[in-house]
Copies of this chain bind each other. A is one copy, B any other.
Amino acid sequence: MAGETEEAQAVPVNHDPRRLAWAYLARVVQGPSPQLARLVADNGPEEVARAVRAGALPDELVARTAARAQVDTAASDLDVVAALGGRLVTPEDDEWPQWRFLAFAGVEREAGAGEPFALWVVGSRPLAELTDRAVGIVGTRAASSYGEHVTGEIAGDLAVDGWTVVSGAAFGIDGAAHRAALGVGGTTIAVLACGIDRAYPAGHARLLRQIAREGAVVSEYPPGTSPARYRFLARNRLVAAMSDGVVVVEAGWRSGARNTAAWARKLGRPVMAVPGPVTAASSTGCNRMIREGEAALVTCAGDVVEVAGPIELRDELPMVASRDTDVLTGDVLLVYEALPASGTRGTGELSVESGVPIERVRASLPLLELEGFVGLGDTGWFRRT
C-alpha cells in the first residue's frame, strides 16, 4: 500500500514500529475507545494501524477513525514528547495503572468514558507507582482565600503522609493542591485536557514544568491538542480514576469539580467535600453535596484518610465478571455477605447489617456490581446467584 511505504519512509530509526503504531492510533482516536482497545489487544497495534488506514474495520470504528486515519504524525509526536522528557504509556506497559472498573463505568452512555486508549506522560516515575495511594483534590477556579488555604493544608498533609495529590492544573483549588504537594516535597499528578506539550492555563506553565519534574503531567490527547469542553469532562474521569477518593474543597453549584465528584461516585471512589460559609458562593456546591448525602464532610487530611483509605479488593481480582467470592476481602466482602440469599437490601440496611460505614458501602457496591456479584433492582441491591 502507498500509505505503508510513506509511513516506512517517515519512521526515524530510533522509534520502535510497535510504539509508532500505538502513537498513530492514539492520535486517531484521541480519547477512550473500548472497541479499538479490544481490537489492539487481540491483533496487536501494528495490524490494527494498517486496518485503520485501510478503513478495514467494523462500521462503528470506521466512523470513529476515518477523520484522522490519514494523519500520521506518530514519529513527530513521539519526538515532541521525548524532547520534553516524556513518553507514551500503553496498556502493554508495566506502569499502566490498574483502573479499577473505569472500563465499565458510563461506557454505554457517555462519550469520553472507559479506560484511556493510551496516555502521554512527562515525569520520571512509573504511573502505576504514582497512583498507588492517590487522592484527587479539585475545586473551583474562582477559589476564595479560605479555599486556597484549606486546600494547602489538606493537600500538604496528605502529601507529607505519602499520598499522591491528583488534580487538573486549573487556577484556584487545583493549582493550590499541586503547589501544596510540591511545597512539602510530595508527589502530584496533573491530568490535562490538552496535549502535554501545551501549558494550559498559560499562567501555570512554570507550575506544570515543576509537576513534570517532581511527579507527572498526564494526558490522553496527543501533543498539540487544544483544550475543549468535552476533553475537560473526559479528563475529570481520569482524575477520579487515578484516585482512591476525591475531595472537593470549594465548588460553586455548577463547578466542574462536581463533575469529577460524579465520576468518582460512578467509579466507586468515595467523594468528600469541605464545608464552608453558607454565605460564600464558592462553597455552595460543597455544602449542598454534604447536605444531599453525596459527599462526606471532611475538615482535614485525617478525615480524608479515614474516608478514602483504599477499598480492599485483592489485586488479582479479574476485570471480567466472576462469581468466585473468594476474591472478595475487607469491606467489599462484608457488604456482599450482608445481602440476603434472596430479596433486596438498601444501602442504609447494608451499612447497618455489615457494620461498614455507609460511605464505604456506597463505594463497595459499584465494584461488586461491575464484577457481577450484585445487581440493583427497583427495591434495592440483590445478590446475583
> Which residues does chain B contribute within 8 Å of A380, judged by CB atoms?
352
| Binding-face segment, A97-105, A180-188, A292-300 | A292-300
Does any Cβ of B come within 8 Å of A210's Cβ?
no
CB neighbours of A278 from chain B (8 A):
150, 274-276, 299-300
Query: Closest CB of chain B to A321's CB: distance in Å?
Result: 27
Asked if A358 lies at the interface with its beta carbon under 8 angstroms from chain B, I say: yes
Residue from A146, A275, A288 with most neighbouring chain B CB atoms (10 Å): A275
Q: By CB atoms of chain B within 10 A, which of A150, A277, A347, A380 has the most?
A: A277
Contact indicator B303/A298 (Cβ below 8 Å) = no
- Closest Cβ neighbor of A361 among chain B residues: B348
Q: State how many copies of this chain the complex holds.
A: 2
Q: Which of B150, B274, B283, B346 touches A352 (beta carbons < 8 Å)?
A: B346
Residue A219, interface by CB 8 Å: no
Residue in contact with A349 in the complex, picked from B283, B290, B297, B346, CB distance below 8 Å = B346
Q: Cα distance A347–B349 when bound, in Å?
A: 8
Question: How large, as a class, is the contact surface on chain A?
Answer: 20 to 34
Do residues B276 and A299 form an inter-chain contact, with CB atoms below 8 A?
Answer: no
A162 CB, nearest partner CB in chain B, Å: 22
- A364 CB-CB contact with B under 8 Å: no
> Is residue A149 contacting chain B, with contact meaning CB distance below 8 A?
yes
Name the interface residues of A151-197: CB closer than 8 Å to any CB of B.
none
Interfacial chain B residues near A351, Cβ < 8 Å:
346, 348
Q: In the assembly, what is the distance between CA of A291 and CA of B290, in Å? A: 9
- CB A365 to nearest CB in B, in angstroms, measures 14
User: Min CB distance, A287 to chain B, in Å?
Assistant: 6
In this complex, what residue of B is CB-closest to A154? B278
- Give the docked Cα–Cα distance between A42 and B220 (Å): 82
Binary flags per residue of A286-327, CB closer than 8 Å to B gives 1, else 0: 011011000011111001000000000000000000000000
With the chains together, A351 CA to B352 CA distance in Å? 12
Question: Do B291 and A303 touch across chains, with their CB atoms under 8 A apart?
Answer: yes
